Structure 1
Amino acid sequence: MRARSSKRRTAVGRPEATAGTPGLAVELRGVRRQYGRGGNTVHALAGVDAALPRGTFTAIMGPSGSGKSTFLQSAAGLDRPTAGAVFLGGTDITGLSEDELTELRRDRIGFVFQSFNLLPSLTVEQNVLLPTRLAGQRQDRRRAAAVLAQVGLADKGRRRPGELSGGQQQRVAIARALVTAPDVIFADEPTGALDTRTAADVLGLLRQAVDTLGATVVMVTHDPAAAAWADRVLFLADGSFAGGLERASAEQIATRMTALTAVAAGGARPGAMAGAAA
């Protein structure tokens, strides 16, 4: 993965950051994100630290309003933290300009969303190659064919998204995320619109991308069965990490989620487990 370590302007509330930790695909240091002011202030993230190694599959879970979406948006450069630093592949992205962030997301990050986000007027092949087209790069049809073969759609390149099932469309989205060989693939509820069997197929592809291609996957999900495909599950509660599980079963994950949800419903703040995200 490409690591860049130039000094840049920094976000308000933090000193100029040093280079990221070697071996980490994603690193958050003391990241805070708040919305509103005064009595209406909402602390979506309350000083989060996270260290996600390259070539791993991490699931992020938590009760509704725990900060999952804000974590993903901050880590992917879609939202700027109020304070703290975010590193992607060793690069401090917190102080990048909007143009630099756009370039970084296009070249070094892959996205997989619940709603697929495919362009219906383009063919499957054209959808897969869209990131390189937007970057003004040569359209490598052999590369598109290769990633489509990896996701089991070798014969679908000339089809339109509307001619495919939901599961096949999500496979196209995964192929699009893989085409640039990104530093990280961020997946936001990638199986939320799929049935159980199709969801398992899609999660198997993300797992395969990690195990055989060395990809790094960070997935936000509410589904314990989906999270069980990950190497590690990190739990957010009230904007802070509240523990983690390694190679856990769906049952173990569901039990932890039930406990966190009960605490959140009672209005108490769970104690953050030291080192949970390290």
Structure 2
Amino acid sequence: MASRRDRVSTEQHPGHGPAVELRAVRRAYGRGEGAVQALRGVDLALPRGSFTAVMGPSGSGKSTFLQCAAGLDRPSAGQVLLGGQEITGLNEDRLTKLRRSRIGFVFQSFNLLPSLSVLQNVLLPQRLAGERQDRRRAQELLAEVGLDGYGRRRPGQLSGGQQQRVAIARALITRPEVVFADEPTGALDTRSAQEVLGLLRRAVDTFGATVVMVTHDPVAASHSDRVLFLADGLLAGELTRPDPQSVADRMVALTAAHGGRHAGAAA
């Protein structure tokens, strides 16, 4: 798998251009002098078939970045493009359909429905999108994440790490262009976190997914191809081929430089 980290198959990514692009994206909450500038003009392009981690001090704009990039929140200004299509101006109905068919999500709290079986949870995005529920693909994905034979169980019968693996299978069921992961290891022990990060890495290297992960953990970030750092709502640098120590050092420096400047800002 290491060799796949350095190259992306054009067969898996027939499209051209970035998977996600932000152009001068701003997001403000509130009005007047009390307005909080969560994003203050972010420009970036995330390549197809890449694994990007996003980090920054508290209040740097990480969560706002993810929400705007994933179409969960609308920028106050600027453009967001998914696979070359601008999504900023889409109405809520079209945005909802786009998220269901072209974007996968993995959250810290798993967000599985306790009343559904594991298999039904994996199939849920296809059901919500009005697509044919591909049980065979769902079972194959469960096998890929190490949960072969768990399809009839309920989420409450699984460990936290197992539930997050179900969430990853669910995120991949529609073959999304981008998977957004928000602190996916935040609620897990070290071993489970490593397993989940390995699965996200494999989603990129084996399935050709594009993964964008917000995290506060330098070890988690080291699984990515590139770490983007946010501070005060702006891009404040990046690291390629990151390792835990280099990420931690950069975060210490950023926090020291920016930590006290945005009390009360949105994370």
Measured in 1, the distance between the counterparts of 2:29 and 2:240 equals 32
Answer yes or no: is 1:155 the counterpart of 2:149. Answer: yes
Answer yes or no: is 1:69 the counterpart of 2:63. Answer: yes
Give the superposition deviation at 1:266.
4.7
Give the superposition deviation at 1:191.
0.1
Measured in 2, the distance between the counterparts of 1:28 and 1:267 equals 24
Alpha-carbon spacing, 1:159–1:266, altered in 2? closer, same or farther (3 Å): closer
Give CA-to-partner distance per residue, 1:192-248, whole Å, 9 cap, x none.
000111100000000001001110000000000000000000000000000000011
Residue of structure 1 in register with 2:189 after alignment = 195
Q: Verify the 8 A CA contact 1:2 1:89 in the aligned structure 2.
A: no
Measured in 2, the distance between the counterparts of 1:2 and 1:106 equals 21
Segments of 5+ residues of structure 1 without an aligned counterpart are 4-21, 269-278
Measured in 2, the distance between the counterparts of 1:91 and 1:265 equals 35
Measured in 2, the distance between the counterparts of 1:105 and 1:184 equals 10
SS at match of 1:145: helix
Measured in 2, the distance between the counterparts of 1:266 and 1:80 equals 27
SS at match of 2:19: strand
Give the superposition deviation at 1:92.
0.3
Give the superposition deviation at 1:2.
8.6
SS at match of 1:111: strand
Measured in 2, the distance between the counterparts of 1:194 and 1:106 equals 26
The aligned runs of 1:85-234 (5 Å cut-off) are: 85-234=79-228
Measured in 1, the distance between the counterparts of 2:218 and 2:130 equals 40
TM-score, length basis structure 1: 0.88
Give the superposition deviation at 1:23.
2.4
- RMSD (Å) for aligned C-alpha atoms: 1.2
Q: Verify the 8 A CA contact 1:228 1:253 in the aligned structure 2.
A: yes
Residue of structure 2 in register with 1:8 after alignment = none
Give the superposition deviation at 1:154.
1.0
Measured in 1, the distance between the counterparts of 2:236 and 2:70 equals 21
Instruction: Give aligned-pair identity as a percent.
Output: 73
Residue of structure 2 in register with 1:246 after alignment = 240
Which of 257, 267, 274 aligns to 2:251? It is 257
Pairs aligned (count): 250
Measured in 2, the distance between the counterparts of 1:210 and 1:2 equals 15
TM-score, length basis structure 2: 0.92
Point out 4+ residue stretches in structure 1 off by more than 2 angstroms. Answer: 265-268
Residue of structure 2 in register with 1:272 after alignment = none
Relative contact order higher in (CA < 8 Å, ≥ 6 apart): 2
